[in-house]
Every structure is written in C-alpha cells, then in structure tokens.
Structure 1
C-alpha cells in the first residue's frame, strides 16, 4: 500500500521577517556588552604585556649578569635592553649585551590603552611627590630594581585604563582597569584596583 507523503513546507516570508526582527533585537541588546568586552580586552592585553616586559627584563638581568632596563614608551609600548650595551667581544656574531633585546608596539592588541605611572611609598601607600621612577626601571644581576631608578622601599606603579571605552570600575564605570606593581625587590604583579577585599589575590 502506498503512503502519500505530505509535501514539505518552506518558511513563509512573514516567518522569515519575524526571525530577522528577533535576531536584530538580540544583536542590539548584546552589542554594548560586546563593545565593552573588546575595550576591556585591550586593557588586559596592555597590562599583561607590561608585566611580561618587566619580567623579561628581570630574567635577562640575572641571566646576563648585567643591568637590564625596561623603558615605557608612548601609550603601552616598551623596550627592554641593556643599560650599558656591550659589543660582540667573543666574536660569535651576536652582541654580548644589546641595547635592544625586545620591543613591543602599542598596535599589538592595545591601541586604546593608556598607561600612567607613579611611585608609591610602600609603607604608607602614599604617592611620592618627587619620584625617581617615571618611565624606566633597571634590574641588576640579583633581579632587584636598581636604586637609581626606584628607591628602596618604594613601588613603581603602572595604571592601565581605556578612556575610549569609558571610566574605570573603581569609579563606577564599565572598564576593568588594571595595575602592574613592581617592588624595589623586583617582584612584579598585576592587580585590579576595583577589588577591595584584602583576601582577594587579585586585589591591589
């Protein structure tokens, strides 16, 4: 016995229009959150890059047994290199301690990020009105920051924000601004100024 199948029915124009309207509404609702996510990712990219650059300078200082400096450029760009360049003394074709070991450009994922620096007295958390540190930190062969670029007992602060995306969460905004702290002992850590609980490992 033959069974007649019902012909398959396609999507009508009205159903298609309803589906497009629903998709447009969902997209409109999600667009602001997506935009904030993109702008926040630029802050994190810049902060992580600064943290990595500082860690690289510290490791290279210990490895090369020489003073290696981290120099913050415009926006979030930086350069790591030997404080005193040493030419190719062992004739292997490579400079023993080059003035530029590695660089990072602002265009590498953090075009809107803005970095401001400050020097803080660690014991009081007060900003030093006459800072030694402004944009350059030098690490010695023990991995400590040299006193000429950061006095003992003080911390170097790199605050990363994104004015294009909005104000920081610490100021009731939507941007998750981050901070990179370097102690005179050479410890490098990243934290979130908006977090205030002392027990939170991500808090500043």
Structure 2
C-alpha cells in the first residue's frame, strides 16, 4: 500500500508565496498611512500632556507656569508657533532651554526653572505644528494668565482661545468634514481662556464630542 507523502508540493508552495506577496503589497499603503498618522497622534499627545502638566503645576505651586513651543531645547532656543519641541518652566525659557531642570526643595535652581522639556524626535520627523501662540501661561487657578499679570508679553490680555494644529503633509492631506477619504487624521489641541486643554479631530461633525466645534 502506497502512503502519500506529507508536506507541500512545489506548486502549492509557489501559490502560497504568491498569495502572501499580494497581501503584503495590498497592505503596504495602509501600513504607511497608519505610521504617518501615528506621528500626528504622538505629537498631539505630547503637547497635550505638557499643557496639562503646566496647568497642574501652576495650581500646585500657586504661581504662573509657562508652556512654550520652541525650535530646539539647546541653549539658543527661541519660541516658535511652529516649534515641535516644548518647555514647561516658571520663567521665560528663551535662550536657556538647556538649563538643568529644577528640583523641588533644592536651592540654586537655574533660571528659567525648567520643570520639564521635550525635544522633537526622529519618531515624528514629518509632523508640522502651527499654533496661534507659542507661549501659554497658567495661573494658580488653572486659568490662562494674561500679559498684564505674567509680564513679558507672552500671552494676550485678556486671554483668548489658543489653537495648536498638528498635520503631516508628507503623509497626505488632512481628512475633513467634507472629505473623510483623505489619509491623514490631523488633530488640534485647544486651550480655552479658562485653561481647559482638549484634543479634538477637526474632521468630525461639530456635534461629536471629539470634534473641534
């Protein structure tokens, strides 16, 4: 009695490989789009978390704390509405973003008394940030602080809503309420005059709780 051999024939193996190649080719655009969208999400979450930290520290310390978008965290840093790096500090960090972060209860903290900072990373090289303000200050009540109190001309008086838009032109156009087929889910960070910080999707309906309406 002849026993059939186990395993795959050459033809079956070739067919299987062909199907695998087709599936991989079909999945490449979707994977690429997902990776580009992940850059937007990561940058948006980083900025949102930094703003929430600045607000929480302002309340905890009962003093003005600043969030600043900067072009770098090196010594020559400058505020920029297109900055992808940021600094949370008690003083103006312009030109001193490389200062040693402060330690509570330790004397001799360096000006600008940095609480936390974050540099733009290679993980999100294609992200573009556009903000209506580069510096946002919070007071001990958790509200945006006006220029008349915080000084330095860093925030408007009276405070106004600040919008930070995160896009990825390399990945493609942003989806919108009129065109959901565009590949990028761009995100906005909105800071109200009262200090509320929220992330929203401008492509969603205005009535959606996650929309920017």
Return the TM-score normalized by structure 2.
Answer: 0.77
Gaps of 5+ in 1: 119-133
Partner of 2:128: 114
Task: Tell me: CA distance 1:60–1:153, structure 2 relative to 1, closer, same or farther (3 Å).
Answer: closer
Give the unaligned 5+ runs of structure 2: 72-82, 94-101, 148-154
Q: CA 1:159/1:91 → structure 2, altered by over 3 Å: closer, same or farther?
A: closer
| Aligned match of 2:201 | 192
Between 27-36 and 109-118, report the one with greater CA deviation.
109-118
Q: TM-score, normalised by structure 1?
A: 0.80
Provide the residue aligned with 1:144 in structure 2. 143
Distance 1:192 1:91 in 2: 40
Change (3 A) 1:144 1:91: closer
Q: Based on CA coordinates, which of the two structures has the bigger radius of gyration?
A: 1
Contact 2:202–2:211 (Cα < 8 Å) also in 1? yes
Mark the CA change 1:150 to 1:188 in structure 2 (over 3 Å): closer, same or farther: farther
CA distance in 2, matches of 1:50, 1:9: 57
Could you tell me which residue of structure 2 aligns to residue 62 of structure 1?
A: 59
On the 8 A contact 1:151/1:184 being kept in 2, the answer is no
Q: Is the 8 A contact 1:161 1:178 kept in 2?
A: yes
Structure 1 partner of 2:96 = none
- Matches of 2:13 and 2:108 in 1, distance apart? 65
Equivalent residues of 1:46, 1:109 under 8 A apart: no
Aligned-partner Cα distance in 2 for 1:181–1:153: 13
* Pair 1:78-2:75 in alignment: no
